[in-house]
Amino acid sequence: MAQQQQSEPDDPLSKGEIFEVLRNQRRRYVLQFLKQDGRPVELGDLAQQIAAWEYETTLDGVTPEQRKRVYTTLQQTHLPKMDTAGILEFDSDRGVIEPTDRTRDISVYLEIVPGSEFAWRELYLSLGAISCALVAALWLRIYPLILLSDLAWAGVIAVTFTVTAIAHIYHERNMRVGQGEQPPELSYGTDD
C-alpha cells in the first residue's frame, strides 16, 4: 500500500481535502475534544469521550466494547488520516494526539447550522429594509413618526443593529467547536 505524503505545515489545505477529512463524524468529534482541551491528549481518554458522545452516555457508562471499537478505528484510520493532512499530530508509539495550528484554522468548516435555525442574513436584510423605509418616511414627514426627532430615530436604528449584532455574536460563540461539554451537532441531533 502506498503511503500518503504528509502535507507541509505551510501548505494550505484545499476545501476538498478539509471536507474529505471532516466528512466523518468521529473525526469531527476528535476536533471538538482537542479544541475543548487545547493540550495533548492520550488516545485512551479521547476514545472514552468520543464513545460517550456516540453512545449518548456518561464517561463511566461507556462499556469496554464501545471504548475498544472507537479506540481501534481512531488508531487505525481516523487519526493517521488527520495526521497526514496536518490537522493534528498523532504519535502512534506513545498514543498521544496534539493539536496543530490547522486544528484551529479549520473550525470555520465545522459550524453547525440546524435546519430550524433563523438565518441571520435575513434578519439583517429585514432590519436594513425597515431602516430604509423609516428614513424615507421621515424624509416625507409622515405622522406620527415626526413626533421623534431624526436624531432619536437614528439612535433607535443604531441601538437595534447593535443589540442584534451582540445577540448574533453570542449565538455564534455557542456554536463553535470546542465551546461546550459536547459537540454542537449533538445538541441539534444532526445525522451523519
pLDDT, tens only, 66-121: 999 999 999 999 999 999 888 899 999 999 999 888 887 776 666 554 444 567 78
SS3 99: strand
Top CATH class, 15-111: mainly alpha
Give the mean model confidence (pLDDT) for residues 163-178.
76
> What's the confidence (pLDDT) of residue 2?
40
Mean pLDDT check: name the lowest of 10-24, 52-66, 76-90, 113-127.
Answer: 113-127
Domain ranges of the chain: 15-111, 120-174
The 10 Å CB-count burial string (b at 16+, else e) for 34-64 is bbbeeeebebeebbbbbbbbbeeeeeeebee
Which three cell numbers mark 29?
A: 468529534
Place of cell 439583517: 124
How far apart CA 92 and CA 79 sit, in angstroms, is: 9
> What's the confidence (pLDDT) of residue 105?
74
Alpha helix locations (H) across the chain? 15-22, 25-37, 43-54, 64-73, 79-84, 101-105, 120-139, 150-174, 184-188
Q: Per residue in 33-42, pLDDT tens?
A: 888 777 899 9
Confidence of residue 1 (pLDDT cuts 50, 70, 90): very low
